[in-house]
Amino acid sequence: MRLIQPGKPTQNGFIESFNGRFRDECLNEHWFSDIVHARKIINDWRQDYNECRPHSALNYQTPSEFAARWRNGKCEGKQ
């Protein structure tokens, strides 16, 4: 198992990009009153990120669309 070296965010660009987006678009935009409120807001953001928003790295598909096509492709290849 290889780990990311401390202070080397370029070794893990996809995660760093996600974390920055999550922080800017969700965490910095809301003041959570309790854990239930935090879970609701974070779940809503995650759902939007995965199901509504196209990603350039996925050829402008949503992650949900990409995953469904990948699963279908894998299933078809096994038959």
What pLDDT was estimated at residue 74? 63
Q: pLDDT grade, residue 2 (50/70/90)?
A: confident
At residue 78, the pLDDT reads 41
pLDDT digits (tens, 9 = 90+) for 34-55: 999 999 999 999 999 999 999 9
- The residue to which tokens 């879970």 are assigned: 39
In Å, what is the CA distance from 71 to each residue of 64, 67, 79? 11, 6, 13
For residues 30-44, one letter each, b for 16 or more C-beta atoms within 10 angstroms of the residue's C-beta and e for the rest, the string is eeeeeeeeeeebeee
pLDDT-derived band at 5, boundaries 50, 70, 90: confident
Would you say the pTM of this structure is higher than 0.85? Answer: no
